[in-house]
A and B are shown apart, each in its own frame.
Chain A
């Protein structure tokens, strides 16, 4: 840890209620200096409210916000060393690009802004466009102006509110890399709000998954993906197969489970739920971790792997992989992604198959949760 912690953002017990509605339940969060932090969640999960409380645009109902050692909870936004890249950018339509970028400097009484603004515009490759009005630029260019307008002030923390939401997919990819590059270059703390799990995972060092005004889980992208702690995280980040199972026994570091007559093994360390014998847990496995073998080749499946038998209900070819839906006794609908290396012509709908995977890839969740939390249908509803 560096000695300079003035870019730390520390939220303690911060919460926001509107009348009877709680947008953000009191939460604690520390974002260290220089990190790229993402707040991820569906719309209405409280992520934007949290961001706005850090910016000072929203007054928290309870709790405090610290920047480094300074308590900024009640400072108005224009006195905080924090800048925001707004959703849909909020570029001033009556000012040209140069004046938009110079706005913050001028408000702080800096007289000679020309050099700084030009340098900043060059950094985002918009030197040529300085005298255009915002509406004359493309979406991607506007986005870069918004970033430049915030960064020129050398904020301690840069807040990004769905900054890429208005861009099309290709441009979004490009801007993700661009933002990541800028962050590495300037080395300041970025807090990024998004509903796009892919975006959060590609860009951030640390992701906090929010749901219903609470932080569900916090960790590195790989950590969250490989070892989700709740069904919401399991379903919201990528896709998970969740199978209801009964705890049969414990053998060493593993838990042995029964699911629809089949035996499954789960490392105890990868289970976030209490595991009394006879209790129930949800067994999770990512679709790409499962291997698929035709029933005729069942004998070739190595020992020590979790295995289920079933029948293919649906297969869709999407280029890099084929996505199968398999029906089995343990679970009505299992997704399996098979890399498109050597296609087995026998794997068509109706074929009997054996699914198998390494127990080390299995994770266990508390069965008391909603099994569909965080799936697309559930989030959209």
Chain B
């Protein structure tokens, strides 16, 4: 065997589509931004022309005033809710991954666990909120619990799908050299599942926001959910909308944080590079 390489026929490389994606992205945002601005203008105009009462539909300008006037309170509430979301989200991801790993690694446990997980998914979890308040009080714990039961499922399900979609001939290769189940799990199945897992994680991020707000509705003395409830009893609809706006901003922020995480964790995912 000599050291020289055998014939190296030049084969064309697939072209990268990365270069044009930034321009395309900003271009695709523009119509959405224009529609949003138009909606705000029409909204303001309709409220003023028909003199609609502020406690039914506040004009965008009134919402903005409320936002400025109550800035301190709202920021404090936002911080509390953001903390709940972040903590609850992380717990959901960790628990969701753990359940998926157990189901795949231990056959009999998986067969026992999986139907129960699916069954549990059909429980209307928002209805669990009062029970969680009863068990855990008015603090952080019931919110974390509620986020967990709402958000772990997409994590578990997406990771399972990813781990179980490994090509059979790749498993044949691994088996032929005597790879153990644990080796196949951690060297093939888990990294293979990461693109799916990140997709599930993005869904979990969105659900975590819902979980936190529902938890605060059911019983809380702080947070944006509490502000919404309190303001609506005061008929301060402008403040309700201001708080809703901040909830939406939180939701978007968490979603994009998850998406940035995805780019870091799975740079090879098909979305970013044609394969």
Whether chain B is bound by chain A comes out as no
B residues with a Cβ closer than 8 A to A are none
A residues with a Cβ closer than 8 A to B are none
